[in-house]
Copies of this chain bind each other. A is one copy, B any other.
């Protein structure tokens, strides 16, 4: 997942490690430690997905290679209906890299997965035992899943170029 994120960001242009880390944090995607970041860049470099050039000062600036682009394209095309919300958000961050024709499908598949989760969350909430904190947790899951679906619906409507009626 980190590899996917790094490749996606490097698709926009050359960046150095520290910068990639900051961008990832700014996008609210994930907080990456240095002990995860630099070994990940080395892995990608070793397998030829990215290439390093010396930048200013201590900087090692990386750019994506054709092999890296191919790998990125494989990764963004695959779709696991059970993927965690963090993975989907990452996919969304790079949705613009997908041909326009296939974007709607990604959003709709996600919607179907969320509707399934909502059903499950409602079932768990209806069967709720436990104290009020446990019940609050189950209720939260129902509400936040509903909110996520509503948000996706706006994205889908925008993708269709339609004004949302509310």
Do A133 and B28 contact each other (CB < 8 Å), given the known contacts A140-B151, A151-B140?
A: no
- Chain B residues near A29: list those with CB within 8 A: 137
Instruction: Tell me if A16 counts as interface (CB < 8 A to partner B).
Output: no
Please state the number of chain copies in the assembly.
2
Q: How long is the Cα–Cα vector from A151 to B144 in the complex, in angstroms?
A: 10
Binding-face segment, A49-57, A59-67, A92-100: A92-100
The bracket for how many chain A residues form the interface is 20 to 34
Instruction: Tell me if A27 counts as interface (CB < 8 A to partner B).
Output: yes
- Chain A interface main SS type: helix
- Choose one: B28, B124, B137; the contact of A121 (CB below 8 Å): B28
Q: How long is the Cα–Cα vector from A160 to B95 in the complex, in angstroms?
A: 44
- Chain B residues near A138: list those with CB within 8 A: 27-28
Do A141 and B28 contact each other (CB < 8 Å), given the known contacts A132-B158, A136-B155, A158-B132?
A: yes
- Chain B residues near A143: list those with CB within 8 A: 147, 151
Instruction: Tell me if A42 counts as interface (CB < 8 A to partner B).
Output: no
Distance in Å: Cβ of A85 to nearest Cβ of chain B: 10
Contact between B93 and A137 (Cβ–Cβ < 8 Å)? Answer: yes
Instruction: Tell me if A131 counts as interface (CB < 8 A to partner B).
Output: yes
- Chain B residues near A121: list those with CB within 8 A: 28
- Chain B residues near A131: list those with CB within 8 A: 96
Contact between B155 and A27 (Cβ–Cβ < 8 Å)? Answer: no
Do A134 and B93 contact each other (CB < 8 Å), given the known contacts A144-B147, A151-B140?
A: yes
Residues of A in contact with B (beta carbons under 8 Å apart): 26-29, 89, 92-96, 121, 124, 131-134, 136-138, 140-141, 143-144, 147-148, 151, 155, 158
